[in-house]
Amino acid sequence: MPTDPIPSTEDVVIRQMRDQIIDNDLALMQSINRRLTLVTRLRAYKEDRGLEFVDPSREEWMHRYLQGANRGPLSDAGLTEIYGHVLDLTKRETAG
């Protein structure tokens, strides 16, 4: 006879995995905030010197570098997508 399923809110394994996921999400948020802080400083420095903020060749280099460093399970297509979003977000968030 099968036992009744344990509600996910009471399952210890589910709770532990969810705790690990939220811890990871917090670390991801902190990393993005740190990136925004660094890019804001870089943007101000470049603007003070009359330099263009966006450097397409640097963005391409960074993307290739990250692809080489990626060991998965994130696919190359997934990396391209997420990195594009990060770059777009960074440009928007540091514009003001």
First to last CA, the chain: 63
Top-tier CATH class for 12-93: mainly alpha
Q: Cβ of 18: how many Cβ atoms within 10 Å?
A: 13
What distance in Å separates the CA atoms of residue 60 and residue 69, rounded to the nearest whole number?
A: 14
Question: Which pair of tokens denotes residue 18?
Answer: 């969810």
Alpha carbon of residue 92 to chain centroid: 15
Output the pTM of the full model. Answer: 0.83
pLDDT digits (tens), the chain, 96 positions:
556 666 767 889 999 999 999 999 999 999 999 999 999 999 999 999 999 999 999 999 999 999 999 999 999 999 999 999 999 999 999 997
Q: What are the domain boundaries of the chain?
A: 12-93
What distance in Å separates the CA atoms of residue 83 and residue 92, rounded to the nearest whole number?
A: 14
